[in-house]
Amino acid sequence: MNMRKLGKTGLMVSEIGFGGEWLERHPEEESVALIRHAHEKGINIIDCWMPDPKSRDIIGKGIADCRGEWIIQGHIGSTWQNGQYVRTRDLAFVKPAFDDLVRRIGGGYIDLGMIHYVDTLEDWEARTQGEYIAYVRDLHERGVIRHIGLSTHNPRIARLAAESGFIEMILFSVNPAFDMRPAGEDLETMFGEYDQSLSGIDPERAAFYQSCEENDVGLTVMKGFFGGALFDAKRSPFGVAFTPAQLIHYALTRPGVSSILCGYDTPEQVDQAVAYETASPDERDYASVIARAPLHSYRGQCTYCGHCKPCPVNIDIAMVNKFYDLAVQQPSVPESLRQHYLALSPTASACVGCRGCEERCPFGVPIADRMVKAAALFGE
């Protein structure tokens, strides 16, 4: 496994990392074994934005025998309230949630204390002053967090963070769909000398990546596979399919990137991601795929990230969207898929149309409309 320095933190991280958000969907013993398998393959960094006790316990147990060999991204402001994820800056919830994370992970510290999910200028300005940031700085001074990081999907906010002087690393969404210019660009020529040039990248993102290089701010990558959509030509916003090796290579060739945090359900998926280390140049080449792409758009597509939560009626919006996206690709809804959907409680038909989820969605998905469509598709 190739190791990379994570910017000014000085930490050496595996360039293939572990995004932990799917852990709670499997029996605990399976997910614990999955983390241990990843470690055996050389992976040493894992993100825990998830506030639920099961996910945190799984990570803690999975790394217990080698805590000092793991680098944990732990998020400050991701809380568990009434059985749901709630992003908040209210210290009455933030402090006990983070204390719980430290306890369940073990070791008495978190390597990378992440200012959780800042996507607006208003939120950035509010988070960098007042009691919330004072709490983050206190954690840092006491060694409870060893480095201060931030997670965002917005390149404007990310650049402000990179230039702030106190943010040491950033968790950022990186894949070709997010980075490229809107439809209408000349995709045949945008990738000349792509390893040395950001030609074709959206200018704001290019400026952000350059700022990371200039300020020695390391990047870890989320959404590298666009929720799996980039593996399927029918779901890919390009109209063509990529391989894991191509998308991993794309992320790792962005300036400032140290590690791509992939999501895993099985040991085989870990092995597939780690196979990047021995992939040939042809197997890693994503440029030719993009050059042939007939389509180019990503707004409005769900990546199942979960930031739409909390739902006032507790719908698992990401899972409803995932089942809906799978179902609409079929001539008719497979009965097995229907049963998986109906096992959700509640289902899409419970949606009250408040659209609070849409305000939190980083990608402009018309969620309430999709809930109506999902309910109709699955015959509710």
Tell me the average pLDDT across 334-357.
90
Tell me the average pLDDT across 153-175.
93
Cβ pair 127, 161 in contact under 8 A: no
- Whole-angstrom Cα distance, residue 218 to residue 150? 11
3-state secondary structure the chain: CCEEECHHHCCEEECEEEECCCHHHCCHHHHHHHHHHHHHCCCCEEEECCCCHHHHHHHHHHHHHHHHHCEEEEEECEEEECCEEEECCCHHHHHHHHHHHHHHHCCCCEEEEEECCCCCHHHHHHHCCCHHHHHHHHHHHCCCEEEEEEEECCHHHHHHHHCCCCCCEEEEECCHHHHECCCCCCCCCCCCCCCCCCCCECHHHHHHHHHHHHHCCEEEEECCCHHHHHHCCCCCCCCCCCCHHHHHHHHHCCCCEEEEEEECCCHHHHHHHHHHHHCCHHHHCCHHHHHCCCCCCCCCCCCCCCCCCCCCCCCCHHHHHHHHHHHCCCCCCCHHHHHHHHCCCCCHHHCCCCCHHHHHCCCCCCHHHHHHHHHHHCCC
State the pLDDT at residue 338. 85
Q: Tell me which residue has tokens 């988070």.
A: 127
- Whole-angstrom Cα distance, residue 112 to residue 132? 16
> Helix 317-327 crosses helix 335-342 at what angle (to 10 degrees)?
170
- Whole-angstrom Cα distance, residue 100 to residue 85? 14
- 3-291: CATH architecture: Alpha-Beta Barrel (3.20)
Above 60 in pLDDT, residue 187? Answer: no
Residues with Cβ within 8 Å of 340's Cβ and at least 6 positions away in sequence, in order, are: 323
State the pLDDT at residue 201. 65
Tell me the average pLDDT across 101-129.
93
Above 90 in pLDDT, residue 270? Answer: yes
Above 50 in pLDDT, residue 213? Answer: yes
Cβ pair 47, 73 in contact under 8 A: yes
Residues with Cβ within 8 Å of 363's Cβ and at least 6 positions away in sequence, in order, are: 153, 298, 299, 300, 301, 302, 303
pLDDT band at 79 (very low <50, low <70, confident <90, very high): very high
State the pLDDT at residue 287. 76
pLDDT band at 160 (very low <50, low <70, confident <90, very high): very high
Domain residue spans of the chain: 3-291, 317-377
State the pLDDT at residue 192. 32
- Whole-angstrom Cα distance, residue 150 to residue 132? 13
**Could you report how far apart the first and last alpha carbons of the chain are, in Å?**
48
Q: Tell me which residue has tokens 């803690």.
A: 60
Above 70 in pLDDT, residue 185? Answer: no
Above 90 in pLDDT, residue 234? Answer: no
State the pLDDT at residue 186. 36
Task: Dump pLDDT digits (tens) for 121-148.
Answer: 888 998 888 999 999 999 999 999 999 9
Tell me the average pLDDT across 310-332.
87
Above 50 in pLDDT, residue 190? Answer: no
Q: What percent of the chain has pLDDT over 90?
A: 59
State the pLDDT at residue 3. 98
Largest CA distance in the chain: 58
pTM of the predicted model, to two decimals? 0.81
Residues with Cβ within 8 Å of 122's Cβ and at least 6 positions away in sequence, in order, are: none
Above 80 in pLDDT, residue 183? Answer: no
Above 70 in pLDDT, residue 84? Answer: yes
State the pLDDT at residue 224. 92
Above 70 in pLDDT, residue 170? Answer: yes
Task: Dump pLDDT digits (tens) for 349-362.
Answer: 999 999 999 988 87
Closest CA to 324 of 367, 266, 295: 367
Task: Dump pLDDT digits (tens) for 22-50.
Answer: 898 889 999 999 999 999 999 999 999 99
State the pLDDT at residue 143. 97
Alpha carbons within 13 angstroms on the beta-carbon side of residue 229 total 25
- Whole-angstrom Cα distance, residue 329 to residue 314? 26
State the pLDDT at residue 361. 85
Q: Which two tokens stand for residue 260?
A: 């791509």
